[in-house]
Amino acid sequence: MEQTNIRDVPIPASRVGLGTWAMGGYQWGGADDDASVRTIHAALDLGINLIDTAPAYGFGHSEEVVGRAIAERGQRERVVLATKGGLERRGNALFRNGTRKQLLEEVELSLVRLRTDYIDLYQVHWPDPQTPYEETAQALLDLQRQGKIRAIGVSNYSIDAMQRFRAVAPIASAQPPLNLFERQAEGDILPWCRDNGVATLTYGALCRGLLSGAIDETTEFKGDDLRKTDPKFQSPRFAQYLDAVRGLDRFARGRYARGVLALAVRWVLDHPGVSVALWGARRPEELTPINEVMGWSLDDEARAHIDAVLTGAVRDPVGPEFMAPPERPPAARSAA
């Protein structure tokens, strides 16, 4: 397993991190907690020691599962435990809330659910335009000084927001979306982070499973699965993205004797400025291809071919904007 260093995290982190959004169940058609725990244990066996979670994933359920898995496994000191804060629950909806009060309350709940007395990397899940970034930064800096969190990170932040934030508190990491289909970060966030010594934990390497190679026209998304409303999974775009996946898979097998999943994750890892690629899974067998990702790199010719496949197949591309939570409504704003 390739490793990297994250500021203020005392142990090296694996360059592939386990994303646990689906383990929360909500928006993913439910989850099997026992299978999730086995998946976390399998990841640790494979050398994946960075586990990324958040209260927003199943309204705390993902954190509970992660906490259980680490407690049962032991060796907490060998795990880079990353979670987030800054989203306020109202009913079954989440709203951005980066106030000091919200973050101080959230971190205490996360510590309990995760069964730990410190969090290795605590990240602001989404920027809150209604709260000064300096207030959010000061809250996390105070938590760091108290020893409740070790490193401070941000997620989905713009460069301007990060510059304001780090005028108050050090930013160890940023977490933007990045995959073969969602590439905005490669033009701005990644170069800025590379130039400023900020590690990146890029999320969505498999684009909600689309780049796993396991999804086709017959795949059914059940219950509250967010892919039922994801624009990439709706006609006519869905057919275009599936054509791209098939073309990438043919190329990966012909050139590297690997599947599209390995190609997709390697593409992320090879990007200058990328520290960690987050790989979402909730069953142990979904991690089986991890060995196909390690020990090789893409050359310029391969990258050019990949770009040609994408340009030829995806005529109506769309980003991940649909996932962004809204700002707090007026009633909530006055209460904060």
Q: Got the DSSP string for 313-335?
A: H-SS---SGGGPPPBPPHHHHHH
Whole-structure pTM value? 0.89
Per the model's pLDDT, the better-predicted residue between 27 and 74 turns out to be 74
The length of the chain in residues reads 336
Task: Give me the residues paired with residue 123 across strands.
Answer: 84, 153
pLDDT exceeds cutoff 70 at 281: yes
Interior/surface letters 123-141, b for 16+ CB within 10 angstroms, e for the rest: bbbbbbeebebeebbbbbe
pLDDT exceeds cutoff 70 at 30: no
Residue 223 confidence (pLDDT): 79
pLDDT digits 0-9 by tens, 41-57: 999 999 999 999 999 88
pLDDT exceeds cutoff 60 at 335: no
Across residues 108-121, what is the average pLDDT?
A: 96
Residue 60 confidence (pLDDT): 84
Express as a percent the part of the chain with pLDDT over 90.
68
Cβ atoms of 242 and 217 closer than 8 Å:
yes
pLDDT band at 26 (very low <50, low <70, confident <90, very high): low
Helical residues (DSSP H) of 187-231, grouped into ranges: 189-195
Residue 240 confidence (pLDDT): 94
Residue 89 confidence (pLDDT): 86
Active site residue ranges: 57
Residue 254 confidence (pLDDT): 94
Across residues 304-312, what is the average pLDDT?
A: 95
Residue 31 confidence (pLDDT): 76
* Bridge-based pairing state of the strands 3-4 and 13-14: antiparallel
Residue 29 confidence (pLDDT): 60
Residue 331 confidence (pLDDT): 58
Residue 316 confidence (pLDDT): 87
pLDDT exceeds cutoff 60 at 336: no
pLDDT exceeds cutoff 80 at 330: no
pLDDT digits 0-9 by tens, 59-92: 888 999 999 999 999 889 999 999 999 988 888 8
Dihedral sign of CA atoms 170, 160, 184, 56 in order: positive
Express as a percent the part of the chain with pLDDT over 70.
96
Nearest of 1, 114, 108, 3 to residue 57 by alpha carbon: 114
pLDDT digits 0-9 by tens, 210-247: 998 888 888 888 877 878 888 889 889 999 999 999 99
Residue 85 confidence (pLDDT): 92
Residue 93 confidence (pLDDT): 83
Residue 91 confidence (pLDDT): 80
Cβ atoms of 272 and 194 closer than 8 Å:
yes
pLDDT band at 170 (very low <50, low <70, confident <90, very high): very high
CA dihedral 70, 109, 95, 328 (to 10 degrees): -160
pLDDT exceeds cutoff 60 at 13: yes
Across residues 308-323, what is the average pLDDT?
A: 89
Residue 118 confidence (pLDDT): 97
pLDDT band at 122 (very low <50, low <70, confident <90, very high): very high
Per the model's pLDDT, the better-predicted residue between 25 and 197 turns out to be 197
Other Cβ atoms within 10 Å of 319 Cβ, number: 13
Residue 28 confidence (pLDDT): 62
For tokens 């890892």, the residue is: 269
Cβ atoms of 274 and 190 closer than 8 Å:
yes
Q: What architecture does CATH give domain 3-209+268-294? A: Alpha-Beta Barrel (3.20)
Residue 320 confidence (pLDDT): 84
**What's the rounded Cα separation, in Å, for the pair 77 and 10?**
10
